[in-house]
Every structure is written in C-alpha cells, then in structure tokens.
Amino acid sequence: MQEILRAFGIHAPIVSQEQLSGGRIHGTFRIRTEAGDFIVQKLHPTAFPDPVRLMRRVVSVTDFLRPQCTTLHFYPASDGGYLHDGWRVMDCIPGVTKSSADPDTVRMAGRAFGAFQAMLSGYTPIKPEPDFHDPALYFDALTQAGTADDPLCRDLLSLRPVACALPDMHLPVRMLHNDTKLANLLFSPETGDPIAVIDLDTVGTGYAAYDFGDALRSLHGNARVPDPALIRAFTAGFLEGAAHLTDAERDSLPYGAVAITAELAARYLTDHLTGDRYFRHPDSPGRAAQLTALAKGLCLCYNIMEL
C-alpha cells in the first residue's frame, strides 16, 4: 500500500489501514498516514471495461462540482493519469454514513440528491454516454427469457406501461448520479447535516425521475409495501433541492419510482431464468417478487407523493 501511495506522489509513512466493507464493486481501503487520511480503491476489473475513460469522466465531473460543493478529489499518478495498476487514490472526506432511514434523515437525503442534480445541470459531458437506465431493454430481455406460465413473469410484465412511460413524455435529459442510495451520502459527524455525495462512477445522462425513483427503491430495503411517511419525506426534500426541474419533470417523478424498481426486478428475474449468471444470488426469484410487489404498490402511491 505504501508503494501505491508513492505512485500518486504521497510519501508520508502509513500509520494504519482499514478495508471498508460498504461497497460491492471496488476494493476500498482507508489509509491513515502521518500527512492525513486517504481512500485507496482497486477498481473492479470487469464492472467498468474502460477504467481510463471512467476516470477521465469522474475527474471532469468533480472539477465542475468543486466550486459549488464538497466533492471527491483524485490524485494524479506519476504517469499523468489517475490510475496505477488499477488503483486510484482520493482524499478521505471526514464524514459518516447513516443506515437508519428516519424521516428527518430521508428528507435531508432527498434535498442533497436533488441539489446534486441541480448543480450538474450546467455540466456538459466530455463525450456522450449511453443512459444508465433503460427499463424497456430489461423488459425485452425478460420477455425473451420468461415463459407464458410463469406467474411472477406475467405479474412483472404487467407493469411495463408505467415503467417504460418516461421516454414518451418528452422530458429533458439531465446529468444524474444514477445510484442514489443513502450509503452514497456523507453526513457531518458534528451537525448531522449532509456534506458530500460520493461514489460518482455512475454519473451520466438520463431522466431526473430515475434518481428520484432509485432513491425510493433503495430506501425501502426489502419492504414489499411502500411507506407513505418515507415517500413524503424524500419527495419534500428532493423538490427543495431540485429547484431546476420543469413542471413536467416534477409530474414525472412517480414514474421513476416504478421504473427503477421494476427494472431491477426484471434484471433479477431474467438472470434467474437464464441461469443466475450475473447476480449469483440464491434468492433471485424472491428478490424479484419483493421488488415486483413494491413496484405495484408504488403504482398506487401517486396521490401519496403529493407532488
């Protein structure tokens, strides 16, 4: 690890190191040195097939955000890029994550993710990227993999009209975070307020409703039934932060909650029907059923969201 730090121009002796277990993709370590703390990550070799392009995009995004908010800072390697043998190094932002989704925390999270999207509204991508989410693509894959006598498959496919409605609404394409879970938000240990949105590898284009919907899906955990208090809290916070949205985008937000939840359910079920090759999870049908039930419940919650 000392050798890796030296490759990024950091020569201070290491005091301690700790592997962080929160992420599911990269290997992440907090390194304490005599000069300060750093986050060192080993990028997953297959999750991002072009890591150089990934880092070029992420650094561009953080450079754009830095005058507006606290954000990640990556160190250049000795060869001028931002990677060394698949490793990258960034400053350790002194914040904590929260796991409890109480209404106050959820409202603050909604405001932070809405504001993050608003801050990116003036950003122009270096190179156009394909949209991160495409519910229709995953429904098509499920249709090909599913069978006519599979009740869960039929139940999930019945959600397609709502889950795939956003592209027909003529909405503006925005820069999104694309992984708006509570774990990707750092809070101040002193005040409890959000201080930084992290894990920016998925930042890319799409509809504003996708970030809104992904957060609601994530906040519900393994619940099959929507929580009205949680929905109200996150919606109120998101609309406070995302003042840049048009009226049409505000009206579209509930569709994002159904779209992302159903998209993930379709991915789980398709993977199970084709041999559990991606998720490798023994409970893929159960996870798909839980998400399908939640998506159906969210279809009934338009009036709860009070947009």
Mean pLDDT by 10 residues, the chain (307 residues): 96 94 75 96 83 94 97 94 95 90 94 98 81 91 85 92 95 95 95 96 94 95 90 95 96 94 93 78 83 90 54
Quick one: pLDDT at residue 303?
A: 53
Q: Residue 307's pLDDT is what?
A: 45
Quickly count: other Cβ atoms within 10 Å of residue 212's Cβ. Answer: 32
pLDDT of residue 304: 47
The Cα-based distances of 68 to 62, 72, 156, 199 in angstroms read 10, 12, 41, 17
What pLDDT, on a 0 to 100 scale, did the predictor assign at position 272? 87
70: left (phi over 0), alpha (psi -120 to 50) or beta: beta
**Structure confidence at residue 24 (pLDDT):** 56
Q: Cα separation of 116 and 218, whole Å?
A: 18
Distance CA 34, CA 16 (A): 10
Q: Give the β-pairing of 185-187 and 194-197.
A: antiparallel
CA 85 – CA 106 distance, rounded (Å): 38
CA distances from 47 to 13, 40, 44, 58, 201 (A): 32, 17, 6, 15, 10
Task: Identify the three-state secondary structure at position 196.
Answer: strand
What is the structure's pLDDT at 12? 96
Structure confidence at residue 301 (pLDDT): 72
pLDDT for 72 equals 97
